[in-house]
Amino acid sequence: MKILIVHAHPEPKSLNGSLKDHAVAVLEAAGHRVRVSDLYAMDWKAAADAADYGPHASSPLKVPLDSGRAFEAGELTADVRAEQEKLLWADTVILQFPLWWYTMPAILKGWVDRVFTYRFAYGVGEHSDTKYGERFGEGTLAGRRALLSVTVGGPESHYAARGINGPIDDLLFPIQHGILYYPGLEVLPPFVVHGADRLAPERYSAVVEAWEQRLLTLETTEPVPYRRQNFGDYEIPALHLKEGLEPAGRTGFALHLQH
């Protein structure tokens, strides 16, 4: 396999840094090729702005259109082009990050905002009576897999079905479905470490063991079965899920899972 790890933590000696280092070691020992985008070490620019689009930045700036024109001309900034090339090189993408305020840190969101440009990650494919662009099951990154590896400060019960923060699968849905599945990546079930703020040494060993297990089964793990957009489940162009496809009583994000 060819694996890209995008890593977003400011402290190399953190749990996140350790999980990233361990992933590199385990995957390389298993004969895979690994590249790492260590966003803090790269001093990654987080804010998308006109400078990203060079001569294609119009005035007033149009983020989608200008980014798409710069992409098509091959004139996005070198840092963004490098990340797009890594995504096209990889067959598997791992995002390693701490859950800060219920989502990814700003530096990683800025990687998404700047790298997932129009014509690369969205605005891909034709619109017709049966297709609403290539996304959610199709797209530039189709055929590849993605995995979130997330550390969470609070205990698991706070993120359970009745937990005060909301279910972890719902908190991660906008990332897993909205960011990763959108441009075509198949998303594996997330690897989540709870109670990360106070991880006892014996629990750390168990976490590392579980992480190795996930890393060594990347190729055989079943992805989350999100519904594909253009294959009959949704009305086009309203993109409503057709009535009757879900189990009785199911609502919310989970509607978009096949069963």
Residues that bind a second copy (CB under 8 A): 10-14, 39-40, 44, 46-50, 60-64, 98, 100-107, 109-110, 112-113, 116, 136, 153, 155, 157-158, 160-167, 170-171, 173-174, 177-179, 197, 229, 234, 237-241, 249, 251-256
Q: How far is the CB of 245 from a second copy (least distance, A)?
A: 10
Distance, in Å, from the CA atom of 166 to the CA atom of 169, rounded to the nearest integer, reads 9
Q: How far is the CB of 144 from a second copy (least distance, A)?
A: 18
Q: Each residue of 221-241: b (16+ CB within 10 Å) or e? A: eeebebbebbeebbeeeeeee
Distance, in Å, from the CA atom of 219 to the CA atom of 217, rounded to the nearest integer, reads 5
Nearer to a second copy, 200 or 238 (CB): 238
Q: How far is the CB of 157 from a second copy (least distance, A)?
A: 4
Phi/psi of residue 148, each to 5°? Answer: -90, 135
Closest CA to 5 of 15, 163, 21, 85: 21
Phi/psi of residue 149, each to 5°? Answer: -120, 110
Nearer to a second copy, 69 or 256 (CB): 256
Q: How far is the CB of 251 from a second copy (least distance, A)?
A: 7
Q: Are 30 and 216 in contact (CB under 8 A)?
A: yes
Distance, in Å, from the CA atom of 61 to the CA atom of 65, rounded to the nearest integer, reads 9
Q: How far is the CB of 224 from a second copy (least distance, A)?
A: 14
